[in-house]
Amino acid sequence: MNVEVSLVELLSCFWNCITEHGGYVCYDEDLNILRSNMQMLSHLRNHLNTKVETADRVNEMIHKLEHWFSKVEVVETNATELVNQGSQELESNCLGSCCPRNCWSRHKIGRKIQSTLTDVAALNTEGEQLLATPIEGTLDKLRSCLGKDGVGRVGIYGKGGVGKTTVMNEFGSNLLSERQFDYIVRVVVSQDPNLEKIQDDVGKELGFVEDRWKDKGPEERAKDICEVLSRKRFLLLLDDIWEPVDLTKVGFPIPDRDNGSKIIFTTRTEEVCNQMGAEEKIEVDRLTEKKAWAFFREKAGKDTLDIPEIRKPAETIAKMCDGLPLALLTVGQAMELKKTFQEWDHSNKTLRKSVSEFSGTKDPVFALLKFSYDNLPSETIKSCFLYCTLFPEEFSINKFNLIDCWIGEGFLDEFSEGKKIIRTLVHASLLQDDGEEVKMHDLIREVALWISCECGRLREKYLVEAGAQLSEAPEIGRWERVRRMSLMSNHIQRLTKAPRCNDLLTLFLGNNHLKMIDNAFFQFMPSLKVLDLSGNRELNELPSGISKTGSLQYLNLSRTGIRQLPVALRNLVKLKCLNLEYTYELQTIPMRLIASFSNMKVLRMLHCASSDRIVGDGIQTGGHQSMLRELQQLEHLNELTISITREYSLETFRSWDKFQTCTQALSLHFKHSRSLDISFLEGMKCLDDLEFINCITLRELRIEQSLIMREGSFNSLHKVSIINCSKLEDLTWIALAPKLEFLIVSRCSNMEEIICEGKLVEGNVNSLAKLEFLRLVSLPKLKSIYPIALPFHYLKEIVVDECPKLKKLPLDSNSAKEHRIVIQGWEDWWKNLEWEDENTRSTFLPFFKACMY
């Protein structure tokens, strides 16, 4: 075969294939995964369709199902086109099959595939939860309780994993549209209740503006909550109570016949129901054997389970799950790839033995969930899963921070590997995908902690006391032989003793009240790889003893009060990930410090130091050119977040190749620019988060005409924030960001339109199609968000504060017919809103949340 290709094309091809983003070019495996996941999504849709068609009444889940169906339709259309496009591109190669003819085209397709895989995984998870919900009878019982005057408190109890949370949330969602209550407040309590966190959550639900409420103490907050609710009829939904909670300390009036309010809570035991004074108790039943089998068959693969010889062991395994949706889901997912009788028979015997052994010591469901863990495809993925237990119960784990930790621990080398591992764990139903974050079901976390701490894995010994209300660190004797320790989200102020922990690899100290760390504290931690000190605002100095942690590969100092980085940090020659985000007090980064981290892969410097605090002989005093010179020496860097404060500095950075390929978040602070061409953003294929802050003279954000005519020019952007840009009049360019999920516009005194109709090119954009959150604050001239009503398939919340001229939202009765969109604003503003028709107004009225003050 004759192969004719120019030397330039060949070198360009090889260059693209060996760069850090080569994973996107070689997307064959991802394309196969996408086909498989789409097939699973199709099966799930068909099964849920049958559930809707056979319903003998208009049940409470119809609206959620319809919303899910609409999202599936959008994703299916995109995925089908992507599979066809990707397959055609794979067939068009140079040099046989080893090298694509157009690497850049292949790269773009690879990125789209990974993004679509995330969407498909989220829809599969959501569909599985809808399919597993045993709610019909329980909802009827809850409804009957609402009509009983003598019933103010209702307890929902049942085993972990039976679906209590889903039942309660579904019940609350349905009541929103019926307007039986002035307020419906949902709060997760968890095993270690935190009064301040509960009050924070309540305040958000009631509409207290966070910036004006966050500095109040617990007693003052309780008074505010009580003052609002004592005049209203409220429904309080408390999830996951382990022990009695004094609701009066939170600020809740006790329900009685006069106020007509209700409190509904979930717990695992009937005893807690009694202790909380429940007048009615409802046990959530397991799925019937028939429903359990149908659900398990759907998850494990109907085609496989219809093979006669496999059906018998499959039915036995399903019965062992005891009608618990969580067990059926995770075990079913674990069995999905097992296609032979021998595999099913072996799994059946293994599970029966484990369940039998557990019956005398632990809940047998532990054996079932451990089976899902045991069937994960690699030891690396198992370690990454167990690592998630270091975060507190019900904690929303930021995906970027989690992957950074995995890299620091040495579980993986590249950020893209971490994204694939998260998708694997979500698909296995061991993690729940929540957009930028993941969560772990409390029962799965219990099992994972047991595996880490007790289940024959002493080499992986964990000590986790996250969110345990500690005021002091554990006694130093407890640190010995521990490999991973989490003390995050406590009240620890001082670390004075030097524990001997030669085996310690990870130490989480984030979100405490640390003020001082003794110089000797790190003296006996020679193996430490991961250190998280984030969120300790009163910690303004690092001890020089941190230089003793020569093995450190991950250091998180974000959101601390650190004023300077010690020169001694140069000893951390193995450092791969450094997070300095939101260190507003930081004054000095010593010269040549950043450049000394020759193994650096991830550097996060968004809002690192405040421009009016820069002092001393450091990188900042040399300007961005000094910073760039240091960054250019980081040969292995592949993730960067950064703030830039001069337009000429931006030009300097743009000449650096890695700025284009590695920047994940960019914050621009230009005080003297009147106009800025942002066409360069189109080439930043990893840019996820973009901010313009304090650009007080900026009147115009320009883009090239060729980009205006092209759909999806800013395809990677998921979040845009425009803060204190007082001259800007519109943001029409965001219509070219089809995957935008978060939009925040605040303190832009000249902003009249978000997207200007006169600047749009008809038919070339699908504006705001994936938007989830819209926040508009202090925009005195704002009149329009978008010229016409839009279908919002994903929008969850609109917040409008101090936008007096905004009289109409881009909504009609079809904008959110499948789901609810919460609209928060001031009562007067809401009353003066103009609507397409009365039907539109009535559609959104139940979901309005008034600001308090």
Does residue 297 sit in helix, strand or coil?
helix
pLDDT at 56: 37
177 or 558, higher pLDDT: 558
> Would you state the pLDDT for residue 517?
96
Q: Give the tokens for residue 253.
A: 């009036």
DSSP tag of 567: G
Highest mean pLDDT among 7-11, 298-302, 307-311: 307-311
Q: How is residue 297 written in tokens?
A: 């068959």
The single residue listed with the structure tokens 């129901």 is 273
| 39-79 residue pLDDT tens | 777 767 776 665 554 443 334 455 566 667 777 877 887 77
pLDDT of residue 66: 66
For residues 552 and 227, give the distance between their C-alpha atoms in angstroms, rounded to a whole number. 50
pLDDT at residue 707, rounded to an integer: 67
Integer Cα distance of 705 and 699 in angstroms: 18
Number of alpha carbons in the 13 Å side-chain half-sphere of residue 555: 24
Q: Given a cut of 80, is residue 16 above it in pLDDT?
A: no
pLDDT in tens, 670-684: 888 899 999 899 889
CA 257 vs CA 151, 171, 179, 439: distances in Å = 8, 21, 18, 38
Q: Are 745 and 779 in contact (CB under 8 A)?
A: yes
**pLDDT given at position 455:** 64
- Residue 32's pLDDT band (cuts 50, 70, 90): confident
Return the pLDDT at 27.
64
Residue 679 exposed, middle or buried by CB count within 10 Å (0-12, 13-18, 19+):
middle
Tokens of 713: 């020019």
pLDDT band at 97 (very low <50, low <70, confident <90, very high): very low
**Lowest mean per-residue pLDDT among 176-190, 256-270, 769-783:** 176-190
Average pLDDT over residues 195-217: 79
* Across 323-335, average pLDDT: 93
Q: What is the DSSP string of 242-274?
A: SS---HHHHTPPPP-TTT--EEEEEES-HHHHH
pLDDT of residue 600 exceeding 80, the answer is yes
Of residues 189 and 111, more confidently modeled: 189
* Alpha-carbon gap, residue 462 to 390, rounded angstroms: 8
Q: Regarding predicted confidence, which is higher, 245 or 616? A: 245
- The pLDDT score that the predictor gives to residue 1 is 41
Percent of the chain with pLDDT strictly greater than 70: 84
What is the enclosing helix (H) or strand (E) of 701? strand 700-702
Q: Among 454-468, 548-562, 626-640, whose mean pLDDT is lowest? A: 454-468
Residue 677 has φ and ψ, to the nearest 5°, of -85, 115
Average pLDDT, the chain: 84
Local structure of residue 572 (DSSP, 8 states): -
Compute how many other C-beta atoms are within 10 angstroms of the C-beta atom of residue 6: 8
**pLDDT greater at residue 108 or residue 81:** 81
Reply yes or no on whether the pLDDT at 273 is more than 90: yes
Tell me: pLDDT of 459 over 70.
no
Burial of 659 (0-12, 13-18, 19+ CB in 10 A): buried
Identify the pLDDT of residue 55.
Answer: 43
Q: Is 46 exposed, middle or buried (0-12, 13-18, 19+ CB in 10 A)?
A: exposed
834 pLDDT exceeds 50?
yes
User: Model confidence over 531-551: pLDDT tens digits?
Assistant: 999 999 999 999 989 999 999
Distance CA 710, CA 713 (A): 6
CA distances from 722 to 291, 459, 718, 776, 784 (A): 50, 48, 14, 10, 16
Per-residue model confidence (pLDDT) at position 818: 61
Element (DSSP H or E) covering residue 226: helix 218-229
Kindly give, in sequence order, each residue whose CB lies less than 8 Å from that of residue 13, ignoring residues fewer than 6 positions away: 94, 99, 100, 101, 103
Q: Are 405 and 100 in contact (CB under 8 A)?
A: no
Rounded to an integer, what distance in angstroms lies between the CA atom of residue 262 and that of residue 664? 46
Helical segments of 395-548, H only: 399-409, 415-427, 442-453
Mean pLDDT value of segment 433-450: 91
Q: Residue 849 to residues 40, 176, 228, 807: CA-CA distances in angstroms?
A: 38, 11, 13, 17
- Distance CA(1)–CA(3), nearest Å, equals 6
Per-residue pLDDT at 599 exceeds 90: yes
Are 519 and 496 in contact, with CB atoms under 8 Å apart?
A: no
Segment 491-527, tens digit of pLDDT: 999 999 999 999 999 999 999 999 999 999 999 999 9
User: Would you say residue 565 has pLDDT above 90?
Assistant: yes
Q: Is the pLDDT of residue 339 over 60?
A: yes
Give the Cα separation of 824 and 797 in Å (integer): 8
pTM of the model: 0.82
Helix (H) or strand (E) holding 530: strand 530-532
Sort strands 577-579 and 99-100 into parallel, antiparallel or unpaired: unpaired
d(CA 247, CA 261): 14
Alpha-carbon span 534 to 551, nearest angstrom: 19
The reported pLDDT for the residue numbered 764 is 47
Instruction: Give the per-residue pLDDT at 461.
Output: 87
Q: How many degrees, rounded to 5, is the angle at CA 183 between CA 177 and CA 189?
A: 110
Token code pair at residue 818: 């499948």
Residue 287 has pLDDT above 70, yes or no: yes
- Quick check: helix, strand or coil at residue 5? coil
Higher pLDDT, 11 or 282: 282
CB neighbour list of residue 595: distance below 8 Å, 6 or more residues apart: 629, 630, 633, 634
Instruction: Report CA dihedral (31, 32, 33, 38) to the nearest 10 degrees.
Output: 90
419-423, 518-522, 598-602, 654-658: least confident range: 654-658
Mean pLDDT of 284-309: 90
Q: How many angstroms separate the CA atoms of 330 and 432, rounded?
A: 12
Report the alpha-carbon distance of residue 716 to residue 295 in Å, rounded: 36
Residue 106 above 90 pLDDT? no
Q: Give the lowest-confidence range in 451-460, 655-664, 667-676.
A: 451-460
Sign of the C-alpha dihedral, residues 810, 816, 819, 825?
A: positive
Phi-psi sector, 718: left (phi>0), alpha (psi -120 to 50), beta = alpha
Residue 2 banded pLDDT, cuts 50, 70, 90: very low
Task: Give percent of the chain above pLDDT 90.
Answer: 48
- Greatest Cα pair distance in the chain: 89
> Is 187 a residue whose pLDDT tops 60?
yes
